[in-house]
Amino acid sequence: MEEKRYRQVQNILKLKIQKGDYTVGDYLPSENDLCTTFSITRTTARKALDELTKDGFIERLQGKGSIVRERRQSLGLLNVKGFSEAVGNDVSTVFLQHPGPGSWDPGIQFRISENELKEPCIHFARLRCVGENPVMIEYNWMKSSSLDGFSALAFTDESFFKTLSQHYHIEIKGSEHELRAENADINTASLLKIPVGDPVLHISVKFYTSNGDFNIYSELYCNTKQYPIGNSYHL
């Protein structure tokens, strides 16, 4: 019973973070306050907060409390270093295709399950820039049944992952990726403003989420001449 109770408290607090009731930098109620609010023991309150810490939602600060943190997950994806650090004034995103009904592209490198292929697909494409320099083209596909109303949403802070979290309570749990060097075709070269045939890094990614049967498939094309490769990425 006690274990079930800490899970209940953990899920209530997680939902409040996902909905934006607690935002990055906010402090959660203290252990004592949680005990009073939920009629639980201090051990149960501490366990609920510990689990939120493990999931990357909060950080426990000695003598201060539990603060909501930016969920910058390390997904094993190698990409343009500087996007996550530079997200803000110097970064811009251009939709090449806004989210909407699409088709499962045969160019997706990872195997799509038969159950996913039976369902309608949502597709969108974006160009990511640092200053005036286009750095990355991203193409994304996912099944639509888990994302009711998604096509009409404005992305939270231009972040697809934050939008999934706040509106659908879906979290990214991990990924697989493949990397290959390719020569830029006419379309890629035009978007990245490089000569046709110049080398680009093509990264194929399959993201796994907290919704077990919902995966995200991404094909990324990166100009790495000016920007080195790092180990985190926020879609």
Structurally, at CATH architecture level, domain 79-230 sits in 3-Layer(aba) Sandwich (3.40)
Banded model confidence at residue 191, pLDDT cuts 50, 70, 90:
very high
Q: What is the pLDDT of residues 18-65, one digit of tens each?
A: 778 888 889 999 999 999 999 999 999 999 999 888 877 889 888 889
Pair 153, 163: CB distance under 8 Å: yes
pLDDT for 11 equals 86
pLDDT for 159 equals 84
CA atoms of 86 and 228, how far apart (whole Å) = 14
Q: What is the pLDDT of residues 208-228, one digit of tens each?
A: 999 888 999 999 999 887 666
When the pLDDT of each residue in the chain is averaged and rounded to a whole number, the result is 84
Please state, in angstroms and as integers, the Cα–Cα distance from residue 154 to each residue in 42, 145, 164, 188, 220, following that order: 40, 19, 11, 26, 22
Question: For the chain, what are the domain ranges?
Answer: 2-68, 79-230
pLDDT for 229 equals 58
What amino acid occupies position 19?
K
Q: What is the arithmetic mean of pLDDT over 152-156?
A: 89
Banded model confidence at residue 150, pLDDT cuts 50, 70, 90:
very high
pLDDT top residue among 103 and 70: 103
Do the domains 79-230 and 2-68 match in fold?
Answer: no
pLDDT for 45 equals 92
Model confidence at 72: pLDDT above 70: no
CATH topology of domain 2-68: Arc Repressor Mutant, subunit A (1.10.10)
- Residue 94's closest CA among 124, 127, 136, 131? 127
Rounded to the nearest 5°, which phi and psi values hold at 6? -65, -35
Model confidence at 164: pLDDT above 60: yes
